[in-house]
Amino acid sequence: MEKGDITCTVKEDEATLKRYSMDMSKYRSKPSMVAIPENEEQVLEILEYSKSKNIPITARAAGSNLSGNAIGEGIIVLFQKMNSIIETIDERVRFEPGLIYDRLNEEMEPRGYFLPYHVSSSKFCSIGGNVATRASGLRSIKYGTVDTSVRNIRMIDTAHGVVDTRLGIPGDLKKRILQLKEKLLKDEEAMKVLRSKEGLKTSMGYNLRALYDYDDPNEIVAHLVVGSAGTLGLFTEIEMELKPIPEKKIMLVALFDSLTSTGKVIPELQKLGPSLLELMDGFGTEIVKRDTSLSVPEGSKATLLIEFDEDVEEGERRAGEILDGKALAYHTLEDPTEQVRIWGLRWKMLLEIKRRNETEDRRYLSFVDDLGVPLENLPPFIEEIERIFEEEKVPVVIYGHIGEGNLHIRPLIDRVNWKRDMRRIGERCFKAAFRYNGTVAAEHGTGRNRVEFLREEWGEAVYRYFREVKEIFDPLNLMNPGVMFSDSDFTEGLEF
């Protein structure tokens, strides 16, 4: 098969290859070509070419991933042109993987529905990428991760060709999936590990819970490939279930004297069913103080944003009872415009981090940016993380979806010996997460910046099943190699 058999646009010029040798992570890997399909037939052509030449293949849409999942040495399949909404029926919508999150919500708003998990990068990230990394976000505390919304997947893999869970998966795939399910359920050691992490939000490794959460092999496959980071196949269609747009929201802005104090109230608040529990540390709290008229007491070192979009008056009352005597102060915001303005402060915090990264000598780097632990372990985990950075004498910004035990951590790293410092700090933070039965990838997918810790996080018994899943869908190992299985040092391929 010759490259001429690929009928879509193919680019091999140096400028294009340089552009797509990077995503929003700091990893770099130059591809051999960039193919830009406009339909599924062209995706099939690209995959057949990849197989005939034994060239690895990496799916990419917006490239907003922070884990280095959207780069590779072989063929980059750029899904930006495959961004159409195919069909909407009631609360269901079927679309192509390149569709941007906010665009879907804009299209669905007149119908009274929305896609609820709400990733922070919603303005520019693709939903195909969300599914590939098992993403979650600002409101997943109530609505679940992207996996909760997924109903069907249509994809192409190297072993079966087109796999469509809506129309029915191939018979040989169905047989192997059911055999794997039976094997896993009989494996007491592996099941014990998986059950121990059921209360933990994680996107590390393959979504093996699908094998025991569902009985229908079509449903199993639809959810098993969520979080597969392009290592099992190329998505061509996604079907999701939306939620009705809430009629009313209320927000509370609470100020605390420390991150640990904030962590201690989270389990109580989480039981109230909030739609959002978001943390900003002292870095973000200074922005609240500087850019709002809200009263920020002296000694405030953490800000907690709390939102209710159902039973809002009751939520406000009960949250206030919890916050009284534990927060330094809190403010209730009912005006939607004011809520949006306060919510924009989180964006200001990220933009401020980006602005400060324009220096050549020190930068906030996102190598331990997605740690998560069970809520009951949150206060001691926060204390240990803060202690690590105090001992390292490294400034750090901590924020994130604290209502799910998910923290984003951005250390300020000096250029001098930066890889050595990243390695040391990274290992300390990752091992802290493991000590509290946590994860090093709560929502951003496995990726180059933590893949070497996959076996350590899950243990050998579960790791073996990850390998079996890969063998079922991609026995040729052409799909995004180095992202789900690798022993490479996570600092390899990085640029400052």
**pLDDT at residue 440 in the model:** 97
**pLDDT at residue 326 in the model:** 96
pLDDT digits (tens, 9 = 90+) for 398-441: 999 999 999 999 999 999 999 999 999 999 999 999 999 999 99
Query: Residue 170, CB half-sphere, CA atoms under 13 Å: how many?
Result: 14
Residue 41 CB contacts under 8 Å (≥ 6 apart), including other chains: 7
**pLDDT at residue 479 in the model:** 98
Give one DSSP letter per residue of 308-341, joined into a string. Answer: ESSSHHHHHHHHHHHHTTTSSEEEEE--HHHHHH
Q: Check: CB of residue 217 under 8 Å from CB of residue 177.
A: yes
The DSSP code for 246 is P
Q: Check: CB of residue 223 under 8 Å from CB of residue 152.
A: no
Query: Is residue 92 helix, strand or coil?
Result: strand
What stretches in the chain show pLDDT beneath 50? none
Q: Check: CB of residue 245 under 8 Å from CB of residue 309.
A: no
How far does the chain reach from its first CA to its final CA, in angstroms?
40
Domains of the chain by start residue, with CATH:
3-78 (3.30.43.10), 85-244 (3.30.465.10), 250-435 (3.40.462.40)
pLDDT digits (tens, 9 = 90+) for 82-117: 999 999 999 999 999 999 999 999 999 999 999 999
Of 115, 123, 126, 114, residue with least CA distance to 84 = 126
Of 438, 447, 334, residue with least CA distance to 71 = 447
Of 494, 373, 344, 347, residue with least CA distance to 440 = 373
**pLDDT at residue 1 in the model:** 56
**pLDDT at residue 3 in the model:** 77
Of 399, 136, 373, 403, residue with least CA distance to 270 = 403
